[in-house]
Structure 1
Amino acid sequence: MSDFFYLIPISLALGLAGLVLFLWSLKNGQYEDMDGASERILYDDDMPSQ
């Protein structure tokens, strides 16, 4: 039973850290261009060999 006194604060701290990191990524625009990477693969940027 005494293990719960350690596990509950650790789980709350990890949850809070995950929330802070998620909000930080939203603030920095990590989710702005969701289709860019999937469309970029379709473009052929390679130079033709001569």
Structure 2
Amino acid sequence: MASLYLLIPIALVFCAVAIRLLLWAIDNGQYDDLDKEAWRALMDEEPGDTKGDNREPDEPHR
């Protein structure tokens, strides 16, 4: 029973911090556009220009 006097306030503080972090994330726009990030994982990107690397194969990488 004595441990509940410690655990209940810790749980309440933990819940308050979690709610505060959720509200902060919502206010800062973290949940504004959820679909764009989901589609970005599925879309293919254009391959980059690989012709720009003109190093000799024997040259050490710096």
TM-score, normalised with respect to structure 1: 0.84
RCO higher in structure (CA 8 A, sep ≥6): 1
Classify the secondary structure of the residue corresponding to 2:34.
coil
- What's the counterpart of residue 5 of structure 1? 5
Structure 2: tracts of 5 or more residues without a match: 52-62
The structure 1 segments of at least 4 consecutive aligned residues displaced by more than 6 Å after TM superposition are none
Q: Which has the higher helix share?
A: 1
TM-score, normalised with respect to structure 2: 0.69
Q: Alpha carbon RMSD of aligned pairs, Å?
A: 1.5
1:37 Cα deviation after fit: 1.2
Structure 1: tracts of 5 or more residues without a match: none
Aligned length: 50
Percent identity over the alignment is 32
